[in-house]
Chains A and B, each alone.
Chain A
């Protein structure tokens, strides 16, 4: 059994899996923050066309996948930033076009279904050393950019408007995140396959964000979770007859499922620590322009029923609503 783990095939698979599991969640953290968890899926769909072009022209499918993925990511970012309601539908059209076009092109390439399967579901045990080094190189590029530019990328993902008024080039950083996602997809394509690419970017983040209190901890813990899932999934295939890509994703999901109950408890405890706003009321206010019969300042916990009214809160007493307003009160 030990021999299996140390064989050349296994070694290559483990290295490729480890770098993918390490790099993919860094980009995934930014995607989850920007509520674009499914972006990786979309790019994966578009990549099918890229792979098909590679097979058709006899060049490296990985290279053509990267080119098409980056082009697709730029197009997605353009559609998204236009902010139109129809953008959502436009993206769907792009994704379906990518996958359908790819399938037709692959049929034209001749070796159709079999070649495609390796890219759709991963073919980590069939990769060469040069494939491994390409993966390592691309993963390194992703890691360096995603971590070195963390302050900027965090600011843009966390609050785009504020980032713009800080003078950051928001469009540049948004495009950078999309391009990094495209490169991650191209790398993970060989490991888990295009259909499951997004899983390796998102599931580790979903697992780590249950416990983390900060963005950085979420990201680094997700990198750890991704690496562990990738290595465990590949190792498991040495002992049982299972495809490595889906195995990695199942292990990652199992990690999430096992930690979820603890995560719920942790979140509940943190929320319970929010103090009642009522523990500090401005009792010692010097000037109080309110005449009788208003004996006290209304505030949270003052004993009167609070009613949200547009953007302020009215308090109900003596059968009417009481609205603090300018220097006086309106009785509604």
Chain B
């Protein structure tokens, strides 16, 4: 494993959003073929970090390299596949499952060139991998949350990337779809893909994670085998003290805050 080339390399990375420092002193290395989970509570900076890795958040200092190339000079975008946490795919004008997944081929296509055979095959294969072939002509906004998440993953898989970066693919997704998503990613990992996935908790992903990174307050707290995360009984969030009210549990929820 240590002989594999580095796919993602962050050196002394720092990110500020709107003038407020979010990430400090991040050193991160993901090697080819690794499946790495990025864990932490809400606000720990894990989403900010992956957005910086895929070039959506500029770094204020430090350096990020993808496949050995500094992000500023990186042009081989077809090697990268990003799955955002929230997407706008279901907003505005109706769009079909096929159309959204087809936009995952943009890194392979040149403007004004028609769709090639290879593009069509990759789109169909990606939709099949997430089990949505029977909904290929359906309108994305009429699908369930779990199905929409699978559309997002298919869109990325259609680009046949070597590196997959997923931001909370389980958020708002039913348990059955979570297992389906984990299975799809396990298949990609078995084929040699490198995966960096932001998770709130390992859940159905546990069997495929090689390494876990725990973040808190914009820093990396732990980096090692996934068993080590729970050994310290630190799940990256604070448990709330039990609050009992005679009214009912639904009333408790707003008091929990975010």
Contact = CB atoms under 8 A, between A and B. Distances in A.
A, B co-complexed = yes
B84 A158 contact: no
Contacts of B221: none
A171 interface: no
B253 A307 contact: yes
Nearest to B147: A274
A219 to B, nearest CB: 8
A92 B37 CA distance: 45
B138 A162 contact: no
Given A154-B99, A158-B88, A158-B100, A299 B175 contact: yes
A294 interface: no
- A165, A216, A311: most-surrounded residue (chain B CB, <10 A): A165
A151 B102 contact: yes
Chain A interface category by residue count: 35 or more
A30 to B, nearest CB: 8
Given A151-B106, A307-B253, A165 B175 contact: no
- B139, B175, B176, B229: most-surrounded residue (chain A CB, <10 A): B175
Contacts of B103: 151, 154-155, 158-159, 162-163, 166
Nearest to B54: A165
Interface stretch (A66-74, A205-213, A235-243): A205-213
A300 B174 contact: yes
Given A215-B99, A280-B176, A311-B171, A164 B106 contact: no
A281 B175 contact: yes
Interface in A143-163: 148-149, 151-152, 154-155, 157-163
A33 interface: yes
A275 B242 CA distance: 36
Contacts of B94: 209, 212-215, 218
A330 B201 CA distance: 12
B16 interface: no
Contacts of B82: 161-162, 165
Contacts of A330: 239
B120 to A, nearest CB: 13
B124 to A, nearest CB: 16
A280 B253 CA distance: 28
Contacts of A165: 54-56, 77, 80, 82
B201 A324 contact: yes
A321 interface: yes
A214 B54 contact: no
A114 B131 CA distance: 63
A35 B77 CA distance: 27
A282 interface: yes
B93 A33 contact: yes
Contacts of B146: 277
Contacts of A293: none
Nearest to B91: A35
Interface string B6-31: 00000000000000000000000000
A75 B144 CA distance: 39
A49 B181 CA distance: 55
Given A166-B159, A271-B142, A155 B96 contact: no
A282 B42 contact: no
Contacts of B112: 148-149
Interface in A284-332: 297-300, 305, 307-312, 316, 320-321, 324-328, 330, 332
Given A168-B106, A297-B175, A299-B175, A213 B96 contact: yes
A29 interface: yes
A246 to B, nearest CB: 26
A158 B252 CA distance: 38
A325 B87 CA distance: 25
Contact of B106 (A167, A213, A309): A167
Contact of A326 (B155, B235, B239): B235
B89 A158 contact: yes
A152 B107 CA distance: 10
B133 interface: no
Given A151-B102, A274-B142, A332 B242 contact: yes
Contacts of A29: 93
Contacts of A155: 103, 106
Contacts of A280: 176
A218 B200 contact: no
A271 B147 CA distance: 13
Interface string B215-258: 00000000000000110000100011010000001101100101
A223 to B, nearest CB: 13
A157 B87 CA distance: 12
Contacts of B88: 158-160
Nearest to A29: B93
B139 A270 contact: yes
A167 B78 contact: yes
Contacts of B174: 277, 299-300
A300 to B, nearest CB: 5
B176 A299 contact: yes
A260 B139 CA distance: 18
6 contacts: A151-B103, A165-B82, A166-B103, A212-B94, A213-B94, A299-B175
The 5 closest A-B pairs by CB, nearest first: A167-B77, A214-B96, A277-B174, A33-B92, A155-B103
Given A151-B106, A159-B103, A167-B78, 6 more contacts: A35-B91, A273-B142, A275-B144, A305-B249, A308-B253, A311-B168
